[in-house]
Amino acid sequence: MIKVIFFAALREQLGCAGTEVSANNASTVAEVKDALGEKDEDWKNYLANNSLLCAVNHQMVQGDFSVKSGDEVAFFPPVTGG
């Protein structure tokens, strides 16, 4: 399984801090997003937000980045610390 976590506004929009996606259903970050979007229209719409960022195992990546079972994939809005 691929572990998926959400932060900040996205976490609240989805009403979910984390879930899992089968590695059989997704081999890239973009495919993880597609698999999550199948849950319902709300998830599909919120995850379609172009400004969302993604990290795999704590490293910032783009949508074509490959993922495998055991990876931690995080989706979140642009950061606003400091």
Partner 1 sequence: MIDTVINKHAEISIQAEDFDHGFEVNLLENDNVEDGAVVTFSGRVRNNNLGLKVKGLFLEHYPDMTEKLLAEIIETAKKRWNIGRVKVIHRIGQLAIGEQIVFVGVTSKHRQDAFAANEFIMDFLKVKAPFWKKELTELGETWLEAKTSDKEKAQAWSK
How far apart, in whole angstroms, are the C-alpha atoms of residue 81 and residue 56?
Answer: 20
Contact code string over 20-59 relative to partner 1, x by CB under 8 A:
-----------------------------------x--x-
Nearer to partner 1 (CB atom), residue 24 or residue 65:
65
- Binding to partner 1 (CB under 8 A): which residues in 6-25? 7-9, 12
DSSP 8-state class, residue 20: E
Q: Could you give the C-alpha distances from 37 to 1, 17, 48, 81, in angstroms and in order?
A: 17, 15, 8, 28
Nearer to partner 1 (CB atom), residue 59 or residue 64:
59
Amino acid at 40: D
Which helix (DSSP H) or strand (DSSP E) does residue 80 occupy? none
The contact set with partner 1 (CB under 8 A) reads 5, 7-9, 12, 55, 58, 74, 76-82
